Structure 1
Amino acid sequence: MTICVNLKAIVKNYSLCEKLFREDYKDNNYTKGILDFFSSIEINSDIIHDLKRLKKEGNKIDLYVPNYLVYGNEKIMEKVKRLLEFDEFSFDIIKKYNSLDELKNDNIDCFVSDFNIGGQGIILPYQVIKLDSCDYEKFELVKKVYNAKYDINLRKINELEYNTQKARTGIPSIDKPWRKFYSEKEKSVVMPRKTMYEYLKCGAEKMSNKTALVYYGRKFTYEELMEKIDKYASSFISYGIKEGDVVSICMPNAPEAIFMVYALNKIGAIANMIHPLKSPNEIKEYVNKVDSKMLLVLDTTLQNIEGITNELCTNKIVSVSVGNSMPLYMKLIFEKSKKLNLTKEYISLKDFENNGKKVKNSLQVDYKENAGAAIMHTGGTSGKSKAVLLTNDNLNSMVHAQRVTAKNFAEGDVMLTIMPVFHGFGLCSSVHMPLSYGVSVVLWPKFESKKLKSMYEKNNVNHMFGIPKLFECLIKENVDLTNAGYLVSGGEKIEQKREQKINNGFLENGSKFNLKKGYGLTEATAGTTLSDDYSNRLGSIGIPLVCNDFKVVKPGTEEELGYYEKGEFCISGPTVMKCYYNDEEETKKTLRKHSDGKIWLHTGDMGYMDESGLLYYTDRLTRMYTSGGFNVYPPHIEEVILKLDEIESCAVVPMKHPSKNIKVPKVYIIMKKGYEFNEDLLNKIKNICSLNLDLYHQPFSIESIDSFPITNLGENIGKVDYKKLEENANETVKVKKLVK
């Protein structure tokens, strides 16, 4: 296939370059003008990444240069071609065109352009080429294909409402510029008024024989899934669990955890999700805080917490094995290798299931607005742990709204679920969402990077949500990404350089898509923004889901800031939590009624919005600290230090000054392989910081370590635990060298 690309579509600062050219041209210095033009251009790396992929697939990529820049001079065009060789990419031919009719005569299949050239654009089979030059107020994508050699799946461009005017007020929450990415139909979508159980059941009835869950090779159809859920609902009723009760589930990604969540939802009870690797006292706190009526717990976890079971608010404790739903041969091996030494009698899963047979019919509770569905625990890495109460409306709205943005999920696709069910990113984005879409969920209770390739390819996975480290593992393990669909990163900030490296790896491994990004927090049901083909700009976290409103405010106030002004993210909409369970004081601090009459969630996350409505996350407000009356932002220091090629990762936390009553920046770094931490590097770090940061952001102490402490979600999938770093937890990391 031959694709012709207009120069204006790939140059971000085209107007500036054109101005330089015309100034030289006025002085009759045409050649200098050409050199000034092409030596000053800033290329749109997103588009070049797409073109590199196309070229790798055997397509021919030609460049269209406006007539006035070449005047048919072949020598100049050859010079232009050399000037445009960058990032291991070069155009096959550089030509001039006066009209699109010439393209048909020249056997051009597709044309990539800015809006000025006949309003023409290209929609590729898998992705829209991003025409987001900052020099234009508008652009249109109009389908135009010449002599296509294979079918191209075109989306109706008139469904995209591209706003042709700049923001009218300069106030993002009023202008809502992100809504131009949604069609009128999408903007008017109504959020479901159902329980989680009802929402799942609606889809399951149409897909009864299709695979819903996969667990170590064992498959559960949607019909079997619903049967298990109904059976567990009867079991809960048989033990006296009723509408409004809270039941704790302390389990990893096993089918029983999924059955239990939906079973509790069916009868109107609330699932209190707990990390099974929490300490005994933390589990006791999480169970008792919500007055849990029953605890369903992993048997190996139960063995660890036996000493505190008498201190729990419930004596109904069900022991569950992670091997229960494994294929028989695996189950036998697993159970034989497990060494349990329980000193008390607890309810076995078998007895729990059998007891449910006494109940003839587990009646389904009707939907009630704002009724609780799940409790998630958050805040452990940055402060006091809080119990977030999420409703049916929260969970279903997030799923329903993501369906509008993530349009390419299809029934029969496969999602690899690594993020744990006790995490909002796991339960909602990686379980409830795909199951509701008809996407098979492959549950993996214990992630191991060396087994990722086998797990991914054996199950023909299409989609995966996770933190950046997971996608780096995909590349490192050389996983075949030919069938990849939505690979979505969230949970922690990803630097642009790191994102581009992942995108390059995706390309090499056969993916037709770049890494997608999302942003969310437990208090807003994990997912509040998402980037898709039209809104996946490098460094951004996408656009707000269609159901949510966003604003950026001055920290500590309700004062809204304008475009590109950094402040605290605030979210309003149906995905915002009901409250912190039994914590009215914290709820009032976080959920605030603004002058517009809406309830806004103050996230504690910092960032800004551009005029297109795309959001950019910068750092956590809670990571900011004051020193001598000045605000210090550790992520600013990290961003500067990570510009050095020798450094793989960087984390900055405050530490007490040894002799003054102030806090100063402590820098932890992880070196890239092949580099040493020495005086030369130390001087490099000091120099780059002194050039780019003020006095209060200068590192006081720099330490090289092998790894950062992480939150315990499993191998490679936890986030950096800044609290432990701040406590100087040297016992958890191997210190190479300390330089002050």
Structure 2
Amino acid sequence: MVKNMKDKMTPCKKEQSIYEAILTSSQKYPNSNALRYFGKTFKYKKVIKRINQFAYSLNKIGVKKDDVVTICLPNIPDAVYLLYAINQIGAIANIVHPLFTYEQMEENLMMIQCKLLFCLDTDYQKFLPLKDKGVTIYTCSPASELSFIKRFFYNKKNKDKLEIKSEHKAQDFYKSDVLTDFDKRYKNDAFYLHSGGTSGKAKTIALSSFALNAVATNSLWITGLDSFKKKGILAVLPMFHGFGLCMGIHAFLAHGGTDVLMPKFSRYQAVNYIKKNQLHILLGVPVLYEALLSKNNFRGRKLRHLVVAFVGGDYVSPALCERFNIRMEKAKSECRLREGYGLTEVVNVCAVNTYKYHKAGTVGVLLPNVKGLIINPETKEILKPHEEGEICIGGETIMNGYRFNDDKDINDKTFFIDKNGDKYVRTGDFGTIDEERFIVFKTRLKRIVKVNGIPVFPSMIEDAATSFNFVYEVCAVGEEDEKHGHIIRLYVMLSKTYKGTKEEAKEKIVDRIVSRLGIYSKPKEVIFLDKMPHTVVGKIDYKQLQ
């Protein structure tokens, strides 16, 4: 950790666009590394020039304030340039999953009435029919900023997919003039992200620059660092994921740090960056950490370069945190795996266990500029500390609202207004908040099932099962049953190192569940899987198992 107080940074301003935030960084740290990508570094002065060139080119092709531009890209330099260039001219960045199918893309663009798409050059042929729908397509290459040799082999490998007219290549933007004017608004809709929403149905979430900056201002507090200078953060979570967008991309760029970009996670590359003292903060979902821990070279003195690691986005087993932290302790590294909590509607991080403020059994303490309360989901009565109910989150990181939804009352249903007129998002999560503002997450409200009239929490069953090191992943689902109301079915993926029989594993798991949680939580059936289904963001897809 940084101890020298003269290097202590002032958090970025909230009352500015995200473009203005990176512009300030480029003026303060022009010769510092802003991006690291496949071993190549990009200084702030180059990154801001590229952003200004992209903004000029967007302006030239007719993009205006409040127009919508869709980004369908993994974490490559062009994706970063585009994000900030769109924001610079006051347009709205509609950020979607880089693995979208044609059908998904068509539905999304028609819904939000977007006529401009930026995608990978290898996806051009897939999306080409959208031209008949009035959509203009520009392509970006993940190799455009790399060496001639790397570009040559990339083009050779993908030559059958790269039949693209030159006027459709964003690479030509590199040759343009620069735009230095910028839109100074910061509370308007600036980003459209897409999620299942707090009710499970797909929703378009409108976020502002203010909301992203409100999280970014906490990034020094979250990491326990005084400065991000010469520090690198793993930027592998795609930008369509709010955690990846704000913490993985924007927070470090707003404070002079380095984003270590990865279009796709590579264990070898991550370990190599750590070894070279170029990667210090890890962000990821549980499967990323499982992948790292499975590598024998993820150990030893090099791990002392790591400062902290954060995990979220899915159920986090205590066993995963324990195994990661033991690995760090053996390497004499101060790094620990910290769990956080959030949802896209509040920019995906509203509570986190930090180096200084952490409490076992919780998903973290609320950020300083975030508010939380618990309500009775039926009566909407505000409950006292430690009383269980629906978690509601308010404060500066809150979304502007849902957009393009057939339910015109959707925002009224999602927001809870307290007696002071303060607005909170109803998360759809069940848990508690204590006097010190730590959150205990129990489960999604929609996942609570009743067995013989008794509430049963699948996440607590999963906790009990994963207390065994031989359990790699697990998912408990409720199934309607005529006699009992519901029964529990437990899906288990065993660790590759497990030497016992499945019957032995089943007996141990069931016994522990019953001893910890009682007979009503006993699974009716235990099913062993070779592979657990996951959603596009790496979460266990429990809906597919229901």
Q: Name the TM-score, length of structure 1 as normaliser.
A: 0.67
2:185 counterpart residue number:
367
Aligned partner of 1:607 in structure 2 is: 431
2:37 is aligned with what amino acid? Y
In the alignment, residue 608 of structure 1 is paired with which amino acid? T
Which of 257, 261, 276 is equivalent to 1:439? 257
Residue among 399, 403, 417 paired with 2:216: 399
1:332 aligns with 2:152: yes
Query: Is 1:653 aligned to 2:477, yes or no?
Result: yes
Which residue is 1:510 aligned to?
332
Which amino acid in 2 is paired with 1:653?
A: V
1:448–1:191 CA distance, 2 compared to 1 (3 A) = closer
Check whether the contact 1:252–1:422 (CA below 8 A) recurs between aligned residues: no
Deviations 1:2-55 (A, max 9, x none): xxxxxxxxxxxxxxxxxxxxxxxxxxxxxxxxxxxxxxxxxxxxxxxxxxxxxx
The answer to whether 1:239 aligns with 2:61 is yes
Q: Identify the match of residue 317 of structure 1 among 119, 134, 137.
A: 137
What CA distance in whole angstroms lies between the structure 1 residues aligned with 2:132 and 2:201?
Answer: 21
CA distance in structure 2 between the partners assigned to 1:327 and 1:702 by the alignment: 52
| Gap change, CA 1:619 and 1:311, over 3 Å in 2 | farther
Task: Tell me whether 1:349 sits opposite 2:169 in the alignment.
Answer: yes
AA aligned to 2:168 is: S
Q: Which amino acid aligns with 1:721?
A: D
Give 1:383's aligned residue: 200
Quote the Cα distance in structure 2 between the aligned partners of 1:350 and 1:196: 22
- Are 1:701 and 2:519 matched, yes or no? no
Q: CA deviation at 1:596?
A: 3.0
Give the Cα–Cα distance (whole angstroms) in 2 for the partners of residues 685 and 518 of structure 1. 27
8 A contact 1:638–1:650 mirrored in 2: yes
Are 1:235 and 1:355, in contact at CA under 8 Å, matched by a contact in 2?
no
SS at match of 1:549: strand
Q: Does the Cα contact within 8 Å between 1:318 and 1:346 map onto a contact in 2?
A: no
Distance 1:677 1:421, change over 3 A: same
Q: Whole-Å Cα distance in 2 between the matches of residues 355 and 455 of structure 1? A: 31
Who is 1:467 aligned against? Answer: 285
Pair 1:541 & 2:363 matched: yes
* Equivalent runs, 1:241-280 vs 2, <5 Å: 241-280=63-102
How does 1:46-195 map onto structure 2 within 5 Å? 192-195=14-17
Cα distance change on mapping 1:361 and 1:705 into 2, 3 Å: closer
Task: Say yes or no: does 1:622 pair with 2:446.
Answer: yes
Distance change (3 Å), C-alpha of 1:527 and 1:269:
same
Alignment identity in percent?
28
Q: Distance in 1 between matches of 2:472 and 2:174?
A: 54
**Deviation, structure 1 residue 476:** 3.5
Whether the aligned pair in 2 keeps the contact of 1:711 and 1:721 (CA below 8 Å) is yes
Secondary structure, in 3 states, of the residue corresponding to 1:265? helix
Letter in 1 for 2:137: I
Runs of 4+ aligned residues of structure 1 deviating over 4 Å after TM superposition are: 341-347, 354-357, 626-630, 659-662
* CA displacement at 1:301 relative to structure 2: 2.5
Listed one character per residue, the Cα deviations across residues 294-339 of structure 1 (whole Å, up to 9, x for unaligned) are 10011222333345x1564x42110222221222221111111114
For the 8 Å contact 1:216–1:327, the answer to whether it is kept is no
Match of 1:159 in 2: none
Output the CA distance in 2 between the equivalents of 1:558 and 1:656.
28
Cα contact 1:277–1:301 (8 A) shared by 2: no
SS in structure 2 opposite 1:430? helix
Distance in 2 (CA, whole Å) between partners of 1:485 and 1:190 is 21
Query: What are structure 2's unaligned runs of at least 5 residues?
Result: none
1:395 is paired with a residue whose SS is helix
Residue 670 (1) aligns with residue 493 (2)? yes
1: CA distance, partners of 2:223 / 2:46: 27
| Structure of greater relative contact order (alpha carbons < 8 Å, 6+ residues apart) | 2
| Shift of residue 634, structure 1, vs aligned partner | 1.3
Relative distance call for 1:561 and 1:497 in structure 2 (3 A) is farther
Tell me the equivalent position of 1:143.
Answer: none
The offset of 1:572, in angstroms, is 0.9
Question: Distance between the aligned counterparts of 1:356 and 1:192, measured in 2?
Answer: 31
Distance (whole Å) between structure 1 residues aligned to residue 516 and residue 188 of structure 2: 50
Which structure's residues are more often strand, by fraction?
Answer: 2
- d(CA) in 1 for partners of 2:85, 2:400: 21
Q: What is the Cα-based RMSD across aligned positions, in Å?
A: 2.8
How far apart in 1 are the matches of 2:404 and 2:23?
31
Residue-by-residue CA offset, 1:364-402 (whole Å, 9 max, x unaligned): 11225x211111111189832111110011111110133
User: Per-residue deviation at 1:627?
Assistant: 5.7
CA deviation vs aligned residue, 1:278-301 (integer Å, no higher than 9, x gap): 222112222222211310011222
Give the match for residue 34 of structure 1.
none
- Partners of 1:684 and 1:574 in 2: CA distance: 46
Q: Is the 8 A contact 1:247 1:294 kept in 2?
A: yes
Deviations 1:575-608 (A, max 9, x none): 0100111234332221222233111111122222
Q: Does 1:568 align with 2:390?
A: yes
**Structure 1 residues not aligned, in runs of 5+:** 1-125, 128-152, 156-185, 727-740
Letter in 2 for 1:391: S
The residue number in structure 2 matching 1:589 is 413
Per-residue CA deviation, residues 183-237 of structure 1 (Å, 9 max, x unaligned), is xxx9xx9962111111121122010111111111222110111100000001111
Task: Compute the displacement of 1:610 (Å).
Answer: 3.1
In structure 2, what is the equivalent of residue 410 of structure 1?
228
- The 8 Å contact of residues 530 and 545 in structure 1, kept in 2 or not, is answered as yes
State the distance in 1 between where 2:416 and 2:111 align.
24
Paired residue total = 534
Measure how far apart 1:340 and its partner are: 3.2
SS in 2 for 1:708: coil
One-letter code of the match for 1:704?
A: F
Distance 1:642 1:490, change over 3 A: closer
AA partner of residue 527 (structure 2)? E
**2:36 is equivalent to residue 218 of structure 1:** no
Cα drift, residue 544 of structure 1 = 1.1
The aligned amino acid for 2:70 is S
SS in 1 for 2:358: coil
Quick one: distance in 2 between partners of 1:625 and 1:305? 42
Note if contact 2:198-2:426 (Cα within 8 Å) is conserved in structure 1. Answer: no
Q: How has the CA–CA distance of structure 1 residues 354 and 285 changed in structure 2, closer, same or farther, with 3 Å as cutoff?
A: same
Tell me, yes or no, if structure 1 residue 521 matches structure 2 residue 339: no
Partner of 1:205: 27
Instruction: Report the residue type matching 1:333 in the other structure.
Output: F
Residues 383-392 or 461-470, more deviating: 461-470
How far apart are the structure 1 equivalents of 2:135 and 2:371? 44
Provide the TM-score with structure 2 as the length reference.
Answer: 0.90
Letter matched to residue 239 of structure 1: I
Alpha-carbon offset, residue 344 of structure 1: 7.8
